[in-house]
Structure 1
Amino acid sequence: MKIGLLTHSVNPRGGVVHTVELAHALHDAGHEVTVMAPATPGQQFFRPLRCASELVPVASTPPDMVAMVDSRIAAYVNHLTPLLERAPFDVLHCHDGIGGNALATLQDRGLIDGFVRTVHHLDSFAQPQLMAWQHRSVHQARQVLCVSRVWQTTLAAQGIKALEVPNGVDAARYSPVPQATDAGLAQRLGIRTDGLVLLCVGGVEQRKNTVRVLQAFIQLRAQMPQLQLVIAGGASLLDHSAYAREFQALLQTSGAAPDVLLTGPLADDDMPGLFRLADVVAMPSLSEGFGLVVLEALCSGVPVVVSRIAPFTEYLQPQDASWADPLDAASIASAVQHALRGRDAQRMAASATRLAAQFSWQRSAHLHADIYSKMRAISLCP
């Protein structure tokens, strides 16, 4: 099949990583895959792609969210219209509201007869236009997919019958085996190797619960003065500035700033080594679509702290993680202590092996291809 996969960015956000990994697995299975994403001048995908790609030209990102989303939807429509006229796709599959609205517009214009939309998670926006776009991108899709049961249930409450198609993890890429480059990465980023490292991935965001992680870290410093908090990533199209100011205010008044490292967005090649440098990875999120970081950390031989909520409770067994109440900083601190005290390489390896077998990109690609084929068969019926 000829498949077009649309994502909202070239940066390594969870949904973008999912899109790229799915594209590679579909490509390896023999399909003709093109990954598309908006890109400002000079931008490239965070990782080299094995399949075809289309960078949709956009100007520098406007500060206003509504204007930014509107401009990216229009850029997608303008880019895809002549592309579809030259060579139509068997399937067009978007992973966010920007691509979803572009495809909905093309569908309204009769240029395509339907599209697939994966919901990783849904956001709550203050701006009515953003909420309307999000709603349209889901409700006008011919087939909606999601990556966890919790979102399948959430969508069902809105009258949408979504199919659950899980994520995957590349167990060869994320490995506990130390590499010669790990020490150089630690030195370059300023990660201490003579203490303990608590790692969070995703930047400073309310959904990631970063302020409560910092509160937990402040509590832990009294007992673990050698502990360093490393917060990696943070490339996002959403505006997290108000929450970042709250985080910075607490950081400065607490006196913890010398022990907190914010790396900002990192090169994709740095991520496997970054996990290996950590002593524990914390992901006590308030909301997640799935939580790819958890699988990547476990495959890297690092214990994880997660929220005792779905989707984590769906795919993790009790022994796979240390569990926390995401609304209680003391609970997060206790879970970090539990993870550090109970670190067991054999148990983590067993968890990683089981999860990597359950969640492979090859299996995900096979399930996607089956759904695409059924949709195609229906559209070809007289």
Structure 2
Amino acid sequence: MTPLRIAILTHSTNPRGGVAHCLALAEALCAHGHEAAVHAPDPAGRGFFRDAACPTVPVAAQPVNGTTVDLVRARINDYLRHFSTPAACDFDLFHAHDGIGGNALATLKHRRLIPGFVRTVHHVDSFSDPVLAEWQDRSIREATRLLCVSRTWADWIRDDLGAEADIVGNGVDLSVYRTEPTGADTALRQRWGLGPGPVILSVGGFEQRKNTLGIIAAFARLRGRHPRAQLVIAGGASLLDHAAYRAHCRAALASAGLEVGRGSAVIETGPVPQADMPALYRVADVLAFASWTEGFGLCVLEAMACGTPAIVSRRAPFTEYLGATDALFVDPADPDAIAAAMAQALASDVRSRLRSAGLVRSAANSWRACAERHLETYAACARARQEPIHA
């Protein structure tokens, strides 16, 4: 296949699953001999949350004080300014991973600056605001080709939009996410005041679709059996406004008598540097990831690669790429079941079984294979680049 120049667009430079996917995909594509450059609006001017072995383009972006609609509109316009000339659009193809990039590329297509674009749908949000809902739908409807990371969302696209999407999956970098402890493990324990545990890890911050309330309720029950247990809630960088849900979570913590802070029952880390994530997985006794909605759940593979057992929801997409014995499956609506799974994962025989199964499962999901699954779609869109653009 002729080497391609690919512009990959994501919504943020922060450590979110979709952004991590874009960087890892671009690195794998570059290793294949292509030039894949990841773009993202960067209002803080700090660049991406980690160094990458691929070109990255922090797009100049204006600070926004306003609603989520104001913020999304501004980020779409940031992209439109960046790609406002034919010279800036000098790529063989464009690949958006969210509604912001997808809307910008749809407008560029209408302006005849690009012939079309690929859109990966990681997951679909339910927006009460009709403007946000329309932007999300447009970014999918107007794409030339569609990709999904799981069958769940490919089926949704087929059933709701009448379009077909190829499934590309996800991957994990086994050179980064490893079982062997390093000095970072001890440093992280000291930084956050982690005791003998057990330590339960929740990734994604205080967010409704991550089911943080359910995990808090389950953890409160676990503390009845393990009074020194600690819950680490990591991450949380998001363009969406989760303030109301966060307030509910804080109220639930207070009601359960769970203090928040370094060395306390609950530790809120905020966004975690990429370099610290493997250590965070390793110091955790279990990953609690009983989400309501996921595109894939990339952190599950990362935790497994670090030897950490995972608790996941008994629903797609987890049931698509995990075997029945790879993780502990629970009903996300049942805090008692989540708490029981937390306790079960601490048993030495269960922990050993899950650790072994997780290492096998994570090793079967490489970014190289994920990148290869993109190439047929890319080739088809690159051919369209050679054709005249019609009004």
Alpha carbons 2:115, 2:384 under 8 Å: kept: no
The one-character-per-residue Cα deviations of 1:233-282 (angstroms, maximum 9, x if unpaired) are 11111100110000001111211124011111111111000000000001
How large is the RMSD of aligned CA atoms in angstroms? Answer: 1.4
The one-letter code of the counterpart of 2:123 is: H
- Give the C-alpha shift of residue 63 in structure 1: 3.3
For residue 179 of structure 1, the aligned residue among 159, 179, 182 is 182
Aligned sequence identity (%): 47
In the alignment, which residue of structure 2 is the partner of 1:353? Answer: 360
1:299 paired with 2:305, answer: yes
SS in 1 for 2:238: coil
Matching residue of 2:36: 33
Cα separation, 1, equivalents of 2:163 and 2:353: 42
Give the partner amino acid of 1:355. S
- 1:213 maps to 215
State the distance in 1 between where 2:88 and 2:249 align: 49
Structure 1 unaligned residues grouped into runs of 5+: none
The count of aligned residue pairs is: 379
Residue number among 319, 328, 333 corresponding to 1:313 in the alignment: 319
Specify the alignment match of 2:343 in structure 1: 337
For 1:241 and 1:86, how far apart are their aligned partners in 2?
37
CA shift at 1:375, angstroms? 2.5
1:95 to 97, 102, 112: 97
Alignment partner of 1:155 is 2:157? yes
Give the counterpart letter for 1:345 in structure 2. S
Q: Which runs of 5+ in 2 are unaligned?
A: none
Does structure 1 retain, via aligned residues, the 8 Å contact 2:64–2:71?
Answer: yes
Which moves more between the two structures, 85-94 or 318-327?
85-94
Aligned to 2:378: 372
Q: 1:1-382, aligned counterparts within 5 Å?
A: 1-82=4-85, 84-85=86-87, 88-158=90-160, 159-192=162-195, 194-257=196-259, 258-341=264-347, 342-345=349-352, 348-357=355-364, 359-380=365-386
How far 1:127 moved relative to its partner?
A: 1.0
Cα distance, 1:87 vs structure 2: 5.5
- Give 1:353's aligned amino acid: V
CA–CA distance in structure 2, aligned partners of residues 66 and 103 of structure 1: 18
Q: Give distance in 2, aligned partners of 1:36 and 1:195.
A: 40
Contact 2:83 2:89 in 1 (8 A): no
Deviations 1:97-145 (A, max 9, x none): 0000000000011111100000000101111100010010000000010
8 Å CA contact 1:25, 1:362 repeated in 2: yes
Superimposed CA distance per residue, residues 171-219 of structure 1 (whole angstroms, 9 cap, x where no aligned partner): 1211111112211111112222x22100011101000000010000111
Which secondary structure does the structure 1 equivalent of 2:268 belong to?
Answer: strand
- Whether contact under 8 Å (2:10, 2:18) holds in the other structure is yes
TM-score normalised by the chain length of structure 2: 0.94
- Alignment-mate amino acid for residue 38 of structure 1: P
Letter in 1 for 2:40: A
With the length of structure 1 as denominator, give the TM-score of the two structures.
Answer: 0.96
Which whole-Å CA distance do the structure 2 matches of 1:378 and 1:68 have between them?
32
SS at match of 1:4: strand
**Closer/same/farther in 2, CA of residues 347 and 126 from structure 1, 3 Å limit:** closer
Q: CA deviation at 1:37?
A: 0.2
Question: SS state of the match for residue 26, structure 2?
Answer: helix
